[in-house]
């Protein structure tokens, strides 16, 4: 049904960049838009055809696909599309089809070009939206799902080694996954056959269960290719099964990796994996700022950049642990080194300190802690030497409080949940971001599940955690302004960490707590909250978009500082942004503030 002039003006005034136009010019522009009713399944345009103009979604949804028919965008109200084709000769570079009954607004091509020529703010907006050369699809940024061999070749545990060898010969592969009732039990490689079966003189009829590598290291389809490379290099393996939940869905081998190159982060991980001293690792980590600049300049999304940078920290930590054990000898009991903070969430940038702890197996004998105190000192000192500075709050395994047996950790969490005083809230916030790095991962599995379950059932604790999470507020001022720091060294800047990404990190943690979500990465938590219904689809998309803009702006700021020869920090001067960039950033902060208000309202209901 047609829109009234008043409704059309109100709508355009709520959409960037039209809300930046003077009222008189917006009133002149509005009648130029044509209204198009497009039922679900309407082909708006196809790749290569001449475009009639710029499209703007008023209601409904539109799917945009590339030349291979792969979806690249799912657009909703207030999203524009078609501008790339209009600015590249007038032919569509994608295809677009409505997925629901939709109402579209079309600004004819001539009017679009006239608007771009006469309104610099509009031109800057669409120039910013048009991506330049796409980032290279390197191993570092590819998902495992795009690299792995599917389906994996399998054999049952009862199979003989001769039968498995014949299967590998016939399939021209160097490994086979061993399953029982569709569950992965192990992996058998040609190296297993030579180093175990042939070298020991065992008969060819030996069951594969006696020769295979049991409980092999695995990855999920959503893992990055860099994690494949890191795992292979650190553990000296060439085959990694890929599992989704309990299901085996693929395998990645060294042969699969020959199609990809992880030039920068891969080289650093390899150097670290082979390092024999702290100095070797420090030389590698000194390249992280240059890596950050290159990754940002290549157009990689913030979650890819931070994950690659965190992978390097993980590799350094594990190598430090190996060197410490070489110095001290085998540990007296099993242990698990965990990271929290940004490393735990896989969100490290160019500015970071270390936050870590140790979980020790129960049954620690008197005097055993001396070994782990030395191990913690070696690792934490080494991390500091490599640029991961000591935690100002002493949240490190060198502090005996954070180096305890499992039963003590269980009591920590139990007491924090039962008596949520301010310190308990702060500590619980930090410790809910724990992620195992090196050692016996089983020491944490049950503890994490128990803690999430207990926390979710305690409404008083949850309410206190929500209140604690609202202490970090987006930097919103009056009259559509941004509230900058008023005094001190960073006067007139925005703290893009504590007032930027941290409010979203805190929201993600609350959703994980209330939904018993095991992920610790913020974006993964938000996506899981949407999938489980904790967030509405629209609310989740708004919050994800806001988080992406805030986090990306922070990374770009740090990259620019590094390029300028400065030390990267989290303090961004709004004057360094264009009017449009400031407007977008403020809108993102408004979304975060709105979601905080919603969470806060829920807390009051629980109290």
Out of 257, 273, 302, pick the residue that ends a domain. 257
Question: Cβ(389)–Cβ(350) under 8 Å?
Answer: no
For residues 315 and 405, state if they share a domain. yes
| Cα–Cα–Cα angle for 82, 86, 87, rounded to 5 degrees | 120
pLDDT above 90 coverage of the chain, percent: 49
What does the alpha-carbon distance between residue 509 and residue 521 come to, in Å, rounded to a whole number? 9
The stretch 405-425 carries a mean pLDDT of 90
Most confident of 159-168, 175-184, 429-438: 159-168
Find the radius of gyration of the CA atoms of the chain: 27
- The pLDDT, as a whole number, for residue 73 is 63
pLDDT at 422: 84
Rounded mean pLDDT, 77-92: 81
Mean pLDDT value across the chain: 87
Cα–Cα separations (whole angstroms), residue 592 to 339, 348, 529, 543, 596: 26, 21, 15, 6, 6
Q: Does position 591 have pLDDT exceeding 80, yes or no? A: yes
Q: At 69, is the pLDDT very low, low, confident or very high (cuts 50, 70, 90)? A: low
> Which pLDDT score, from 0 to 100, does residue 72 have?
57
Residue 136 has pLDDT above 60, yes or no: no
Together in a domain, 272 and 406: yes
CA angle 582, 588, 592 (to 5 degrees): 140
Mean pLDDT throughout 447-476?
88
Domain boundary among 233, 257, 281: 257
At 206, which CATH number? 3.10.580.10
Contacts of 91 (CB under 8 A, 6+ apart): 48, 49, 50, 51, 85
Total number of domains in the chain? 4
Whether 284 and 271 have beta carbons less than 8 Å apart is answered as yes
Grade residue 600 by pLDDT with cuts at 50, 70 and 90. Answer: confident
Confidence class of residue 161 from pLDDT cuts 50, 70 and 90?
Answer: very high
In a domain, 135, yes or no: no
- In this prediction, residue 431 has a pLDDT band, given cuts at 50, 70 and 90, of confident
The encoded tokens of residue 244 equal 């989704």
Asked if residue 137 belongs to a domain, the reply is: no
| 514 to 481, 500, 510: CA distances (angstroms) | 33, 23, 6
CATH number of the domain to which 514 belongs: 1.20.120
Residue 460 lies in a domain: no
Q: Which of 482, 479, 513 is nearest to 500 (CA)?
A: 482
Q: What is the mean pLDDT of residues 54-68?
A: 83
Question: In terms of domains, do 328 and 398 share one?
Answer: yes
Give yes or no: residues 34 and 114 share one domain: yes
The reply to whether 285 and 394 lie within a common domain is yes
Q: For residue range 324-364, what is the model confidence (pLDDT) as tens digits?
A: 999 999 999 999 999 999 999 999 998 889 999 999 999 99
311 found inside a domain: yes
pLDDT value, residue 131: 42
- The CATH number that applies at residue 386 is 3.30.460.10
Q: Buried b / exposed e across 58-82, counting CB within 10 Å, b at 16+?
A: bebbbbbbeeeeeeeeebbbeebbb
282 and 366 part of one domain = yes
Q: Does the residue 421 lie in any domain? A: no
For residue 605, the model assigns a pLDDT of 39
Are 269 and 376 within one domain?
Answer: yes
- CB count within 10 Å of CB 225 equals 27
> Same domain, yes or no, for 13 and 80?
yes
Residue in 48, 28, 41, 176 with CA at minimum distance from that of residue 107: 28
**Do 154 and 112 share a structural domain?**
no
Does 326 reside within a domain? yes
Q: Global pTM? A: 0.64
User: Would you say residue 118 has pLDDT above 90?
Assistant: no
Segment 262-284 shows an average pLDDT of 82
Kindly state whether residues 50 and 178 are assigned to the same domain.
no
Residue 139 lies in a domain: no
Q: Is the pLDDT of residue 130 over 50?
A: no
What tokens were used for 368?
């055993």
Structural domain boundaries enclosing 44: 5-129
Together in a domain, 316 and 434: yes
Q: How far apart are CA 184 and CA 192, in angstroms?
A: 17
In the chain, the N- to C-terminal Cα span, in Å, equals: 46
Using omega within 30 degrees of 0 as the cis cutoff, is the peptide bond preceding 151 cis? yes
The pLDDT of 389-408, averaged and rounded, is: 95
Q: Give the mean pLDDT of 599-605.
A: 62
User: Does residue 583 sit within a domain?
Assistant: yes
Burial of 117 (0-12, 13-18, 19+ CB in 10 A): exposed
Q: How far is CA 29 from the centre of its chain?
A: 40
Instruction: Assess whether 249 and 378 both reside in one domain.
Output: no
pLDDT of residue 10: 85
How high is the pLDDT of residue 138? Answer: 57
């Amino acid at each position: 049904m047609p829109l009234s002039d008043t409704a059309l003006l109100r709508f355009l005034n709520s959409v960037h960049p039209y809300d930046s136009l003077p009222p008189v010019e917006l009133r002149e522009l509005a009648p130029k838009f044509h209204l198009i009713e497009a039922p679900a399944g309407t082909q708006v345009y196809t790749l290569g055809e001449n475009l009639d103009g710029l499209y703007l979604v008023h209601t409904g949804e539109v799917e945009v696909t590339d030349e291979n028919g792969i979806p690249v965008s799912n657009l909703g109200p207030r999203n524009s599309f078609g501008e790339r084709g209009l600015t590249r000769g007038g032919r569509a570079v994608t295809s677009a089809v409505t997925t629901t009954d939709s109402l579209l607004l079309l600004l004819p091509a001539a009017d679009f070009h006239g608007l771009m020529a006469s309104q610099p703010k509009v031109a800057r907006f669409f120039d910013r939206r048009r991506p330049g050369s796409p980032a290279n699809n390197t191993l570092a940024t590819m998902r495992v799902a795009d690299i792995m061999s599917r389906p994996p070749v399998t054999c049952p545990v009862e199979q003989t080694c001769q039968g498995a060898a014949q299967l590998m010969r016939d399939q021209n592969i160097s490994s086979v996954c061993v399953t029982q009732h569709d569950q992965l039990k192990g992996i058998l490689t040609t190296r297993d056959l030579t180093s175990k079966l042939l070298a020991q003189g065992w008969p060819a009829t030996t069951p594969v269960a006696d020769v295979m590598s049991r409980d092999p290291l695995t990855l999920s389809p959503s893992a990055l290719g860099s994690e494949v490379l890191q795992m292979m290099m650190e553990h000296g393996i060439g085959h990694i099964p890929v599992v989704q939940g309990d299901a085996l869905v693929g395998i990645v081998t060294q042969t699969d990796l020959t199609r990809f190159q992880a030039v920068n982060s891969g080289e650093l991980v390899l150097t670290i994996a082979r390092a024999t001293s702290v100095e070797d690792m420090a030389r590698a980590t000194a390249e992280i700022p240059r890596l950050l600049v290159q990754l940002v300049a290549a157009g990689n999304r913030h979650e890819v950049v931070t994950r690659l940078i965190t992978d390097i920290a993980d590799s350094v930590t594990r190598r430090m642990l190996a060197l410490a054990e070489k110095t001290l000898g085998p540990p007296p009991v099993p242990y698990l080194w965990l990271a929290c903070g940004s490393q735990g969430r896989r969100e490290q940038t160019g500015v970071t300190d270390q936050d870590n702890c140790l979980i020790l197996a129960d049954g620690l004998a008197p005097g055993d802690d001396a070994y782990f105190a030395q191990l913690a000192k070696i690792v934490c000192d080494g991390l500091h030497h490599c640029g991961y500075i000591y935690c100002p709050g002493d949240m490190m395994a060198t502090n005996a409080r954070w180096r305890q047996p499992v039963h003590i950790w269980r009591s920590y969490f139990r007491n924090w949940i039962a008596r949520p005083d301010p310190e308990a809230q702060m500590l619980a916030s930090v410790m809910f971001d724990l992620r195992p790095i090196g050692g016996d991962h089983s020491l944490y599995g049950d503890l994490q599940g128990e803690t999430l379950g207990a926390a979710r059932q305690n409404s008083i604790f949850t309410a206190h955690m929500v209140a604690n999470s609202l202490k970090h507020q987006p930097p919103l001022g009056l009259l559509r302004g941004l509230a900058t720091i008023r005094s001190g060294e960073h006067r007139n800047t925005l703290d893009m960490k504590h007032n930027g990404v941290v409010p979203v990190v805190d929201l993600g943690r609350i959703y994980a707590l209330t939904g018993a979500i095991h992920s610790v990465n913020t974006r993964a938590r938000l996506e899981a909250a949407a999938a489980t219904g904790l967030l509405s689809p629209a609310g989740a998309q708004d919050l994800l978009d806001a988080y992406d803009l805030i986090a990306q702006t922070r990374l770009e700021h740090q990259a620019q500082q590094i390029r300028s020869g400065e030390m990267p920090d989290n303090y961004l001067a709004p004057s360094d942004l264009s009017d449009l960039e400031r407007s977008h950033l403020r809108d993102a902060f408004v979304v975060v503030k709105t979601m905080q208000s919603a969470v806060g309202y829920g807390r009051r209901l629980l109290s």
